[in-house]
Amino acid sequence: MECHDHEDSPKSAQTPFPPSTATSTCCKCGGPTTFAPPPPFSEISPPPIYRPIRAPAINLPPNNPSQQAIILAPVPQSQKVPLVSPPYHFQVPNKRIQSPNDIRRFQESDSGKNFLGFIVALSESIRSRKFSDPCHVSPAISSIVSTLETLIRWIDEIPPLQQASRYGNLSYRAWHDRLTESSESLMLNFLPDDLNSATIELVPYFTDSFGNSSRIDYGTGHETNFAAWLYCITRLGLIMEEDYQAVVARVFVKYLELMRKLQLVYCLEPAGSHGVWGLDDYHFLPFIFGSSQLIDHKYMKPKSIHNQDILDNFSNEYLYLACIAFVKKVKKGLFAEHSPLLDDISGVPTWKKVNSGLLKMYKVEVLEKVPIMQHFLFGSLIKWE
């Protein structure tokens, strides 16, 4: 039979004969070929060990148990916020969490599940929407935004001191003292008369939303307190579901503007930062809300954060891009070196996967961490159950 220049049959590798005497056959017609058969695997050169093509897109420190917890956790789902009804029993909120068992107790409670569901609902409200898109702005939303603008003006009225230390300008304490003294009157600006007594419970959440005056620092725990303050106001019925888009696009954006100015002017130290292994030195929620904005965007993908033109032209409309632009502004060097987690997330194919992954990560890395949640407050609006 005439020889064929065909492909080798895989069966020829299993022949018991040495390569010099083995006959190579075509895998299609069974005829002899002009190619020598491949050498069989030996102990010197074993077959390669299988490795997955792509590991999960999360860049946490090596051997970090949180990585497996995030991958295996279910995606949190939105929930409706139950309204409180009279008679009211407002109280001064207290700290309750001291151990991992307390964390589990909170996470398994209705209060814990509903608070996280509120965060998810806010994320869904801004899905595929820009800041400039029209949204319902209630009088309460306008009043809250006005309150935050007042706090921004105070920064201009209390300039930073000239000091040698890198972090913690002492003028921040003067700003925070003014906040503490005025917080009750600021609450009364938007609370109806029948809810004036709620200030006893709302004020502690509010004053702890902008950093710690003793340590002069700020972190995701303070940001979570601001979300808890918004949750309490929602439970009182001052924020309705139709206001959620404005809560993100108006209130939270103004809050982020305030915090960025506080961080830059008074050099607030990052509270509990993970360094390069963290998502951001100060914030987490803007990345959740910002990734939701970009879901199903026709042109911008997660990898678009590396395009400077996109950051320059669209960071005023999309929160995620604004956060990336700010990180690149305040940190020097290669992006992949100073922000490896954000760089890794840019390799995820869709914004929907980014959003769901960040929601899971927020639950594990923020709401389930004792050093952060030990400062969380519980009262009649967020109950310790």
Secondary structure of the chain: what % helix, strand, coil (to 5)? 50, 5, 45
Alpha carbons 299 and 305: distance in angstroms, whole number:
12
Question: In the prediction, which pLDDT does 248 show?
Answer: 97
Note the pLDDT of residue 63: 57
Mean pLDDT of the region 82-97:
94
Mean pLDDT of 143-151: 97
- Is residue 62 scored above 50 in pLDDT? yes
- pLDDT tens digits, one per residue of 344-356: 999 999 999 999 9
Decide: helix, strand or coil at residue 98: coil
Whole-number pLDDT of residue 73:
78
The CATH number of the domain where 203 resides is what?
A: 1.20.120.1150
Alpha helices in the chain (DSSP H): 65-72, 100-108, 110-125, 139-157, 171-188, 199-207, 220-235, 244-246, 253-266, 285-293, 308-314, 319-330, 335-338, 340-345, 351-362, 370-373
Task: With respect to residue 163, please indicate whether it lies within any of the assigned structural domains.
Answer: yes
Supply the mean pLDDT for the chain: 87
pLDDT on residue 81 = 96
Is 46 part of any domain? Answer: no
Any domain includes 62? no
**What's the pLDDT band for 128 if we cut at 50, 70, 90?**
very high
Mean pLDDT of the 273-281 span: 70
- CB-side exposure of 273: number of CA atoms within 13 Å? 14
Residue 366 lies in a domain: yes
Which conformational region is residue 358 in: left (phi greater than 0), alpha (psi within -120 to 50 degrees), or beta? alpha
- Mean per-residue pLDDT, 27-39: 67
Q: At residue 25, does pLDDT exceed 90?
A: no
Residue 106 falls inside a structural domain? yes
Question: Which pLDDT band, with edges at 50, 70 and 90, does 40 fall under?
Answer: low
Rounded to the nearest angstrom, the gap between the alpha carbon of residue 115 and the centroid of all alpha carbons in its chain is 15
Q: Is residue 61 part of a domain?
A: no
166 pLDDT more than 50: yes
Query: Which among 348, 340, 353 is positioned nearest to 64, based on CA atoms?
Result: 340
State the pLDDT at residue 1: 47
Q: Residue 50: what pLDDT?
A: 45
| Res 6 pLDDT > 60 | no
Domain ranges, residue 122: 97-378
Buried b (16+ CB within 10 A) or exposed e, 102-115: bbeebbebebbebb
E strand or H helix that includes residue 278: none
Residue 237: left (phi > 0), alpha (psi -120 to 50), or beta?
left
| pLDDT, position 114 | 97
Backbone φ and ψ of 218, nearest 5°:
-155, 145
| Domain-embedded: residue 55 | no
Which burial class, exposed, middle or buried, applies to 163 when counting CB atoms under 10 A from its CB (0-12, 13-18, 19+)?
exposed
Residue 305 is assigned to a structural domain of this protein: yes
pTM of the full structure: 0.82
The mean pLDDT value for 310-329 works out to 95
Query: With 60 as the cut, is the pLDDT of residue 378 above it?
Result: yes
| pLDDT over threshold 70, residue 313 | yes
Question: pLDDT: is 65 or 287 the higher one?
Answer: 287
User: Which helix (H) or strand (E) covers residue 377, if one does?
Assistant: strand 377-378
Higher pLDDT, 65 or 310: 310
Q: How many domains does the chain have?
A: 1
